[in-house]
Amino acid sequence: MLPIVLIATCLVAAASAASTFTPARPPALPLAVKSPYLNVWLNAGSDGGNGGYIAGKWPVFWSNQVNGWAGIIRVDGTSYTWLGDPGPQAVTQTSYEYTSTRSTFTMDVAGKVQMNITFLSPVTPNDLKRQSLPFSYLNVEVVSSDGQNHDIELYSDISAEWVSGDRTQAAAWNYTSSGGLEIHKVFKQNQQIFSEYNDQAEWGNFYYATDSGDGVTYQIGQDTVVRGSFTSGGKLSNQVDDNYRVISNNWPVFGFAKGLGSVGTTATNTLFTIGLCQQEALQFLGAQGTVSLPSLWTSYFSDDIAALDFFHKDFGTASGLATDLDNKVNSDAVGAAGQDYANIVSLSVRQAFGAWQLVGTEDKTYLFQKEISSNGNTQTVDVIFPAMPILLYTNPDLLKLMLDPLFENQESGHYPNNYSIHDLGAHYPNATGHPDGNDEAMPLEECGNMIIMALAYAQRSGNSDYLNLHYPILNQWSSYLVEEALYPFNQISTDDFAGSLANQTNLALKGIIGIEAMSQISNLTGHADDASKYHQTAVDYITQWQGLAIVNGTDGGPAHTTLSYGDAASHGLLYNLYANSLLGFNLVPSSVYDTQSAFYPTIEMKYGVPLDTRHSYTKSDWEMFVAAVASTDTRNMFIRDLAKWINETPTSRAFTDLYETDTGAYPSSLQFVARPVQGGTFALLALPVSART
Ligand SMILES: *[C@@H]1O[C@H](CO)[C@@H](O)[C@H](O)[C@H]1NC(C)=O
Ligand SMILES: *[C@@H]1O[C@H](CO)[C@@H](O)[C@H](O)[C@H]1NC(C)=O
Ligand SMILES: *[C@@H]1O[C@H](CO)[C@@H](O)[C@H](O)[C@H]1NC(C)=O
Ligand SMILES: *[C@@H]1O[C@H](CO)[C@@H](O)[C@H](O)[C@H]1NC(C)=O
Ligand SMILES: *[C@@H]1O[C@H](CO)[C@@H](O)[C@H](O)[C@H]1NC(C)=O
Ligand SMILES: *[C@@H]1O[C@H](CO)[C@@H](O)[C@H](O)[C@H]1NC(C)=O
Ligand SMILES: CC(=O)N[C@H]1CO[C@H](CO)[C@@H](O)[C@@H]1O
């Protein structure tokens, strides 16, 4: 067998040489990335990926198990693979391009036919109905490229691997034709609501659909049988193998074939929709006790099929909205800091939104977040905080929908500690809180985060009623900051993986800016005494903090802030400085900005600046926070290094935010992937224009 494998690898490599990657070749290519449970990628980096060629490599769920998704095309009777690894020789990929919402591949089929294959996962921050829909598009355009007409048939299928992370589970399925759509439905027989296995959902119905029409056939059966009927005859049997069975038992697949007829220089178009419908999305401990919350789309649509039907037929509008967002993100980013910056932010959009899910009803909507990959917590405050910039940039109301359940849970008396909760549940989709108070304690971090985010939302939306509504608990958290912020006791920050430490300079700064934020909140809500009291404390603390935190370079080295007070040899990314600019404060003097801007270039590594002196790795989200408030040259250094990393990293899974600054690889013990914190790459775009360098 070995020689055959080697030959196959060489063939793929030879075919591979031709593709371009625009604007970059990311570690993983987003395919269907729409929610925590519809989150499928192509691994591309050298460490487990194949360089970004979609024909010949199976797509994977973010947690790395295959979600079988196949595509075959027959041209004049010869079959070629264009998606996944179903067997036939691969088409030649000539280009890959990503935007904020799309991944588009261009394929050359034997010099005869060109295919344009677009994976579109819509992101509509200002249109909650569309944003709530748990589906993604695959659109395939085919045209003759040699001037001749060719007889063409197109095929695609999904496997039952999408319906459970456990391949020993039994699936069932059904086929329907409805409203001009051909629809495969596949689901786990033993529905386990609110449960996961390998991070895949263990409940709900998956759908794979395409338009009805002449030449469309379908078949459900063993992978080799269904694909074999297509490659031998160019069509399927319209039969359903109703021997419902275990996912890995003679691998059932759900296939469509479409005869395109004789195709010349007029392109033909075939659209597929993939998605997961869950009537009930998660359970939440809020004002009404523990309730199970529906997916928001159920407010707009009577059932799965109605939602699927709307989504599929909405492709024209959805494409237009997607293009608007793609263009806006690109031009804003290029205008703010150039093409490298656009490459970074546009790769972050689907990933950030893909960790989020709109639930509840039109009257009471929430946006819930899964802390993908690091531990699966629900609504982690210090994971919302780094993602906040993309929410402020796209629609600040979404930040409110994200904070609402945190306020509701704690204001209803479900959390016993004086400081802010860390998360709303140990594992998504359970937002059942921590009534015992035994969550992962990050007291200073989360109090600062909640106060800063509440004010950021109110400033952008003009909604100071929101601050009034939550004044008592914000005030309580601020009292905690007054007690604890200047000399933080030995505790973890959001970078818990880096270890705990006393007197963390950056953590203290967050607390002090949080106190100033409470002064502003007090001002906006008519609490004049609190406003002046908190302001005086913040000013007093920031003065003391400078004395404690800054090494003035008396030993000849460059001045900088330390990682912790008194440790002159230490340093770290001072990313909490960002909040001072985001909120428009003059609390922290410009000398601190200047000092840090001059310092970072002196410790630059190949792919960026280390997070702190304890390790050689860094965090891309915090680098972009730091860059947003740095001098132009230093900002551009951070952006250039991260853009280079995207192109060169050996990591092969969805855009990690934690990587080694010298090799670009994962730290040996940790693989963070697909995390929403990449919304933090929008830090520069979330700043008021007047606050940008
Ligand atoms: C396919 O993509 C190529 C390259 O991006 C483009 O020039 C061409 O117009 C596209 N074809 C169709 C039918 O959209
Ligand atoms: C398939 O759908 C039909 C019609 O809705 C229904 O009667 C049947 O029970 C379904 N079968 C399964 C296995 O869900
Ligand atoms: C959520 O809680 C339910 C019990 O209410 C449990 O069965 C389920 O496994 C939990 N889900 C996860 C992902 O931990
Ligand atoms: C909450 O704060 C009050 C006042 O500072 C303090 O007396 C009390 O012990 C704190 N409660 C807890 C649970 O830490
Ligand atoms: C924190 O820093 C202050 C000022 O340098 C020092 O007095 C105190 O001992 C430090 N705390 C800890 C726990 O190291
Ligand atoms: C809020 O700040 C403004 C401007 O400094 C000041 O004029 C106003 O009196 C303050 N209001 C309160 C309630 O503190
Ligand atoms: C230890 C020390 O000398 N710290 C000083 C460094 O510079 C800042 C800003 O000028 C001062 O506030 C510190 O006292």
- 430 C-alpha to ligand 3 centroid (Å): 6
Q: Distance between CA atoms of 213 and 271, rounded to whole angstroms?
A: 12
Residue 666 has a pLDDT of 97
Q: Does the beta carbon of 569 sit less than 6 angstroms from any atom of ligand 5?
A: no
Ligand nearest to the CA of 550: 7
Q: Please, where are the H alpha helices in 211-354?
A: 223-233, 304-313, 315-337, 339-353
**Res. 12: pLDDT tops 60:** no
- Confidence band, pLDDT 50/70/90 cuts, at residue 9: very low
Phi-psi region of 13 (alpha: psi -120 to 50; beta: other; left: phi over 0): alpha
Q: Cα 292 vs. chain centroid, distance in angstroms? A: 24
Q: Does the beta carbon of 427 sit less than 6 angstroms from any atom of ligand 3?
A: yes
Residue nearest to ligand 1 atom 8, measured at CA: 116
**Res. 621: pLDDT tops 90:** yes
Q: Does the beta carbon of 531 sit less than 6 angstroms from any atom of ligand 6?
A: yes
Q: What is the pLDDT of residues 656-691, one digit of tens each?
A: 999 999 999 999 888 999 999 999 999 999 998 888
SS3 call for 542? helix
Mean of the pLDDT values across residues 49-55? Answer: 97
Which residue pairs, CB below 8 angstroms and at least 24 apart, start in 545-552?
Answer: 545/486, 545/505, 545/508, 545/509, 545/512, 546/589, 546/592, 548/503, 548/505, 548/508, 549/505, 549/508, 549/509, 550/592, 550/595
Cβ proximity of 51 and 24 under 8 Å: no
- Residue 525 has which token pair? 């809500």
Q: Distance between CA atoms of 301 and 83, rounded to whole angstroms?
A: 32
Q: Does the beta carbon of 417 sit less than 6 angstroms from any atom of ligand 4?
A: yes
Mean of the pLDDT values across residues 367-385? Answer: 98
Ligand nearest to the CA of 36: 3
The Cα-based distances of 348 to 98, 449, 460, 656, 659 in angstroms read 11, 21, 22, 10, 16
| Torsion of the alpha carbons at 74, 76, 77 and 83, rounded to the nearest 10 | -10
Residue 7 has a pLDDT of 40
- 235 C-alpha to ligand 1 centroid (Å): 27
**Res. 488: pLDDT tops 50:** yes
Mean of the pLDDT values across residues 437-448? Answer: 97
Cβ proximity of 378 and 387 under 8 Å: no
Q: Does the beta carbon of 149 sit less than 6 angstroms from any atom of ligand 2?
A: no
Mean of the pLDDT values across residues 79-96? Answer: 98
Ligand 7 pocket, residues with Cβ under 6 angstroms: 546-547, 550, 552, 591
- Residue 550 has which token pair? 């800054």
Residue nearest to ligand 6 atom 11, measured at CA: 523
Residue 18 has a pLDDT of 86
Per DSSP, what are the bridge partners of residue 195?
none
- Residue 273 has which token pair? 């929709």
- 66 C-alpha to ligand 2 centroid (Å): 27
Q: Does the beta carbon of 564 sit less than 6 angstroms from any atom of ligand 5?
A: no
- Confidence band, pLDDT 50/70/90 cuts, at residue 500: very high
Exposed, middle or buried by CB within 10 Å (0-12, 13-18, 19+), for 244? middle
